[in-house]
């Protein structure tokens, strides 16, 4: 676990103290103590050439990466027409018709997270990119050689040579993963909350500011802070009141340590209104349910309907306004 949780709690206590004193900080000042604007460039992007990014984008929409040519990365993390990078299913359905174990998280801003997957089993985007290709419940490819043959047959050699100009045999799994990661590093969302953090205090409405204060005062900000409002630590699902799903033990499946039972990466809240259903198992069908359940299981409080609505109103400021992404014509 990172130090984000205790430091956020300390700041929250300071805020509560201020709120009880005669000198109350502004909502904007409080927000700046918890949140950062999204960066213009993701870490690692300085090494990404336009040729590598273009190759990664092409591969992201490429169905030849699945055993029966039925799916691409975009199937579960949809980006078409400025989509939210999800498939809106509780758990995704793989190329062979099997349902996955967990809800597919959004690909937007993923490279800004502390790790990839709900259980953190991949530390980087390039590591993450390899898992779905050979997972029998996802794309179900059987070998790297099969993958290389597919891409050679589809005429990818020239694209890989542009992306990896110093390599004599550029098509391989590692390069596929690197190219996919390069494209994903371009997926930084844009929203009004960042405009507000940057100093445009009229970028969000008074009702949205009121919702932000409820979000902070109720303690949601202890885990959902930083530039992506989450994504920086692992937290037990059901830390106060037990979560009903006891089948999925989260990070413990990776570490083998019982102390990690039911720990999952805290999800980002950027563009959250457009990524339903919610939680690692997709159990919350609506944002209202997700807010209520989080308050109960994680904070031990029952939020009123007015508080739930206020937080939802604040979430409107996090809607992604980035230009539409379309697949290249292959």
- The residue among 139, 143, 150 whose CA lies nearest residue 97 is 139
149 is catalytic: no
* pLDDT confidence bin for 329, thresholds 50/70/90: low
Is the predicted pLDDT of residue 20 greater than 70, yes or no? no
Is the predicted pLDDT of residue 11 greater than 90, yes or no? no
Could you tell me the pTM of the whole model? 0.92
Q: Is 271 exposed, middle or buried (0-12, 13-18, 19+ CB in 10 A)?
A: buried
Q: Report the topology of domain 45-184.
A: Cytochrome Bc1 Complex; Chain D, domain 2 (1.10.760)
**Spatial contact of 69 and 128, defined as CB atoms under 8 Å apart:** no
User: DSSP letter at 316?
Assistant: G
Average pLDDT value for residue range 259-274: 98
Of residues 238 and 21, the one with the higher pLDDT is: 238
User: DSSP letter at 264?
Assistant: E
What residues does 12 pair with on adjacent strands?
none
Model pLDDT, residue 246: 96
Is the predicted pLDDT of residue 170 greater than 70, yes or no? yes
Model pLDDT, residue 22: 57
Is the predicted pLDDT of residue 21 greater than 70, yes or no? no
- The residue among 78, 131, 72 whose CA lies nearest residue 105 is 78
Average pLDDT value for residue range 278-306: 98
> Distance between CA 126 and CA 142 in Å, rounded?
19
Sorted by where each begins, the domain ranges of the chain are 4-40+189-318, 45-184
4-40+189-318 shares its CATH topology with 45-184 = yes
Annotated catalytic residue, options 62, 138, 208, 292: 138
CATH superfamily of 4-40+189-318: Cytochrome c-like domain (1.10.760.10)
């Amino acid at each position: 676990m990172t130090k984000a949780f205790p430091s956020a709690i300390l700041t929250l206590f300071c805020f509560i103290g201020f709120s009880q004193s005669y000198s109350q900080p502004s909502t904007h000042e409080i927000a700046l103590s918890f949140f950062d604007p999204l960066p213009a460039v993701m870490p690692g992007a300085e090494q990404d050439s336009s040729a590598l990014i273009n190759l990664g984008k092409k591969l992201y929409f490429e169905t030849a990466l699945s055993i029966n040519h039925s799916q691409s990365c975009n199937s579960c993390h949809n980006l078409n027409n400025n989509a939210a990078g999800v498939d809106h299913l509780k758990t995704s359905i793989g190329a062979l018709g099997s349902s996955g174990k967990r809800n597919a998280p959004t690909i937007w801003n993923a490279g800004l997270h502390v790790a990839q997957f709900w259980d953190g089993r991949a530390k980087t985007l390039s590591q993450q990119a390899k898992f779905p290709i050979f997972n029998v419940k996802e794309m179900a490819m059987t070998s790297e050689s099969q993958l290389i043959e597919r891409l050679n047959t589809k005429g990818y050699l020239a694209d890989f040579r542009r992306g990896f100009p110093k390599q004599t045999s550029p098509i391989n799994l590692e390069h596929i993963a690197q190219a996919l990661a390069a494209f994903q590093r371009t997926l930084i969302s844009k929203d009004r909350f960042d405009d507000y953090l940057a100093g445009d205090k009229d970028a969000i409405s008074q009702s949205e500011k009121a919702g932000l204060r409820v979000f902070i005062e109720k303690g949601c900000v202890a885990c959902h802070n930083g530039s992506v409002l989450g994504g920086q630590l692992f937290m037990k699902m059901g830390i106060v009141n037990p979560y009903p799903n006891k089948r999925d033990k989260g990070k413990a499946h990776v570490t083998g340590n019982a102390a990690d039972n039911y720990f999952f990466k805290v999800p980002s809240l950027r563009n959250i209104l457009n990524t339903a259903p919610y939680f690692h198992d997709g159990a919350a069908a609506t944002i209202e349910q997700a807010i209520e359940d989080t308050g109960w299981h994680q904070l031990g409080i029952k939020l009123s309907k007015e508080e739930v609505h206020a937080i939802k109103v604040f979430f409107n400021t996090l809607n992604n306004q980035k230009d539409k992404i379309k697949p290249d014509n292959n």
